[in-house]
């Protein structure tokens, strides 16, 4: 597997400008001849589809939801970062770049991350032009707030529904191109395989979720914007349908999978309460702006939190990290919460929770201000827990939220399969080993609005359009393989439901490949996942038939892929014998319990190559070279 990141030459600040100035262009007449498939209609997929259609390409857009407006980007609450420096607090492209690369524990690619920071301001301009109703000051100017891992206020937001508003902006731009006849929309389709012809990505096989029919689509390039894979943990903040199948099928067709072990466990979620639970709900990190995190100083203290006097409250983040306090990056906040609960300081019925308290902010600013800032979050909390958080502090605990790893891409966002591009959370590129808050929306939209429309031309200029159709043998072969797999799932007729397998996989992953990992546990996990996978193919029960809406069959295909991906995550975590960002190996920590990197041996991207059903995957590396920053031990003290 050849890993050339194709990073343009020149100084960091000039790379993207130079690239755009010299990239190959296609004439409008030639753009019209090219067809591009885009899978996924989240921020990255919808923005890419709209922008490429505006440029004149023919776009075929696919999503599993009933409408392109529903992808899980919609659930992002807190905000989107941009280097406008409207607050005059010293922000700059360099600072956002540096915060992001440091936040990622120096495991991201310098050039990609810089470009992300550089494009961030354009995103805000574009979204405002589309009518996104961002929060404003009385003067009519845009407002900002702070987010974890930063000392400046650079986050733009629309109440607690920033992701929704940005996604609806992209969806409206996409809808406009549907009306213009430039986008052919295929909702309720589930991508089942990637079709590679002569070494190039040339199409996909999808299952029509209404009829069960398999359908083949050919194009000159394929873009995956299919999101992340934290549903491998069963319980996560992702949507029920979020899945890794598109990315995983591409991996099996030869695309390298990078850094699968970098998982983000988000610190501020509503704690788990019972076995029936189907998902975990996030409370926006923005609450940490005004909330203070604490546990009782006494272990196993079951007193009502309001009766615990100030002197007996342990504001552990503020004490341990005086510079950043409650605003430390997510991985640090999560690990500390886990540590407190492991030590017996946890609160709530299960002992797996810490307090997030807005009492002092309510006193300082008045309840009205807090209602205005976070009202919808308080309502959501009350609906789920039955508790009024204006009167008693919220209880929170970390939950799987985002996968920094994903399909490997170069600077042009192309995977190791020529013609296969990967955007947004589905790729691995910009966040290193830990993503900062309000950066996922930024990356999805940077990839879709501004990067791919430029970089794809470089590839398409060298492709003869339309010379591959679905008549090619490779399409038939892929479709047969998909059909065989579906038949195989239906034929098991076992005794255990798909959800039971998913829950069991989730437990292995959470216990052994979760917030902290060690060699013995990871080896165990690999063995257990292999056994569970074997049992799945022997004993899963999928009712109904294939030629109809069959939600159990949809889930079964996804869980079968998670059962393979879970093993790869554990393998990657085992091979990365260091701690970095969200990947914490108990064997490697500082005296203060922080993640301890090993730059000498692991300053690289790990990229896994599929070598066949019965052989082990091969680990390749892309060394990370830092021209402008010097990796240091991260400090938020």
Q: Which residues are tagged catalytic? A: 330
Burial class (CB in 10 A: 0-12, 13-18, 19+), 138: exposed
Q: Which is nearer to another protein, 253 or 503 (CB)?
A: 503
Residue 510 CB, shortest distance to another protein, in Å, is 19
Q: How far is the CB of 211 from another protein (least distance, A)?
A: 10
- State the nearest-atom distance from the C-beta of 173 to another protein, in Å: 6
Residue 590 near residue 633, CB atoms below 8 Å: yes
171 near 46, Cβ under 8 Å?
A: yes
Give which of 191, 192, 193, 188 is closest to 210, Cα–Cα. 188
Interatomic CA distance for residues 598 and 148, integer angstroms: 25
8 A C-beta contact, residue 572 and residue 606: yes
Count other C-beta atoms under 10 Å from residue 534's C-beta: 11
Residue listed under structure tokens 């359908």:
215
Residue 173 vs 426, nearer CB to another protein: 173
Q: Which residue's structure tokens are 């029919």?
A: 213
Give 10 or 131: the residue with its C-beta nearer to another protein.
131
Residues 238, 228 contacting (CB under 8 angstroms): yes
Query: Which residues on neighbouring strands pair with residue 36, listed in sequence order?
Result: 59, 221
* Pick 274 or 309: Cβ nearer another protein: 274
Q: Which is nearer to another protein, 460 or 540 (CB)?
A: 540
Q: What is the DSSP string of 298-359?
A: STT--S-GGGS-GGGEE-HHHHH-TTTGGGS-HHHHHHHHHHHHHTT---STTS--EEEE-H
Q: Which is nearer to another protein, 56 or 593 (CB)?
A: 56
Q: How far apart are CA 133 and CA 187, in angstroms?
A: 27
Overall size of the chain counted in residues: 637
């Amino acid at each position: 597997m050849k890993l050339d990141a194709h990073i343009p030459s020149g100084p960091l600040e000039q790379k993207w400008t130079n690239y755009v100035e010299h990239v190959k262009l296609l004439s409008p007449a030639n753009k019209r001849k090219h067809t591009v498939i885009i899978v996924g209609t989240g921020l990255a997929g919808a923005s890419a589809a709209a922008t490429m259609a505006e440029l004149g390409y023919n776009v075929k857009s696919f999503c599993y939801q009933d409408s392109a407006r529903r992808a899980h980007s919609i659930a992002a609450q807190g905000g989107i970062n941009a280097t406008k420096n409207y607050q005059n607090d010293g922000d700059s492209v360099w600072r956002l770049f540096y915060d992001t690369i440091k936040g990622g524990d120096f495991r991201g690619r310098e050039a990609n991350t810089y470009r992300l920071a550089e494009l961030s301001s354009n995103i805000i301009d574009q979204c405002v032009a589309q009518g996104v109703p961002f929060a404003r000051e009385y003067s009519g100017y845009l407002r900002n707030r702070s987010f974890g891992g930063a000392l400046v206020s650079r986050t733009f937001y629309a109440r607690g529904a920033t992701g929704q508003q940005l996604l609806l902006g992209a969806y409206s731009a996409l809808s406009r191109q549907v009306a213009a006849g430039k986008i052919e929309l295929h909702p309720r389709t589930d991508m089942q395989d990637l079709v590679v012809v002569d070494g190039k990505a040339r199409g996909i096989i999808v299952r029509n979720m209404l009829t069960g029919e398999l359908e083949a689509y050919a194009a000159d390039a394929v873009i995956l914007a299919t999101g992340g894979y934290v549903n491998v943990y069963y319980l996560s903040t992702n949507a029920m349908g979020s899945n890794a199948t598109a990315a995983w099928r591409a991996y099996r067709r030869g695309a390298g999978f990078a850094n699968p072990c970098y998982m983000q466990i988000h610190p501020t979620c509503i704690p788990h309460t019972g076995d029936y639970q189907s998902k975990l709900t996030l409370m926006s990190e923005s609450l940490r702006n005004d909330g203070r995190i604490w546990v009782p100083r006494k272990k196993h203290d079951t007193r009502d939190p309001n009766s615990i006097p100030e002197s007996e409250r342990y504001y552990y983040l503020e004490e341990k990290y005086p510079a950043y306090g409650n605003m430390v990056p997510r991985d640090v906040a999560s690990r500390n919460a886990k540590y407190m609960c492991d030590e017996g300081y946890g609160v709530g019925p299960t002992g797996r929770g810490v307090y997030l308290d807005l009492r002092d902010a309510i006193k300082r600013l008045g309840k009205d201000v807090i209602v205005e800032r976070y009202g919808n979050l308080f309502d959501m909390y009350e609906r789920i827990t039955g508790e009024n958080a204006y009167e008693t502090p919220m209880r929170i605990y970390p939950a799987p939220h985002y996968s920094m790893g994903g399909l490997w891409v170069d600077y042009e966002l192309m995977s190791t399969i020529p013609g296969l591009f990967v955007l947004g959370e589905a790729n691995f590129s910009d966040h290193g080993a830990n993503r900062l808050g309000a950066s996922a929306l930024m990356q999805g939209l940077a990839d879709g609005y501004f990067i791919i429309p430029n970089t794809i031309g470089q590839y398409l200029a060298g492709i003869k359009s339309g010379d591959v159709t679905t008549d090619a043998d490779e399409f038939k072969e892929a479709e047969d393989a998909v059909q065989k797999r579906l038949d195989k799932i239906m034929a098991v007729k076992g005794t255990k439901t798909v959800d039971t397998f998913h829950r069991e996989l989730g437990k292995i992953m959470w216990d052994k490949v979760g917030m902290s990992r060690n060699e013995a546990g990871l080896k165990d996990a690999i063995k257990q996942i292999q056994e569970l996978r074997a049992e799945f193919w022997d004993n899963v029960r999928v009712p109904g038939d294939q030629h109809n809406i069959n939600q159990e069959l949809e889930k079964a295909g996804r869980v079968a892929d998670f059962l393979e991906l879970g093993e790869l995550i554990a393998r990657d975590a085992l091979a990365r014998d260091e701690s970095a960002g969200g990947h914490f190996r108990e064997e490697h920590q500082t005296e203060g319990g922080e993640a301890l990197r090993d730059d000498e041996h692991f300053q690289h991207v790990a990229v896994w190559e599929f070598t066949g059903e019965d052989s082990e995957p091969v680990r390749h590396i892309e060394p990370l070279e830092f021209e402008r920053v010097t990796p240091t031990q991260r400090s938020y003290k």
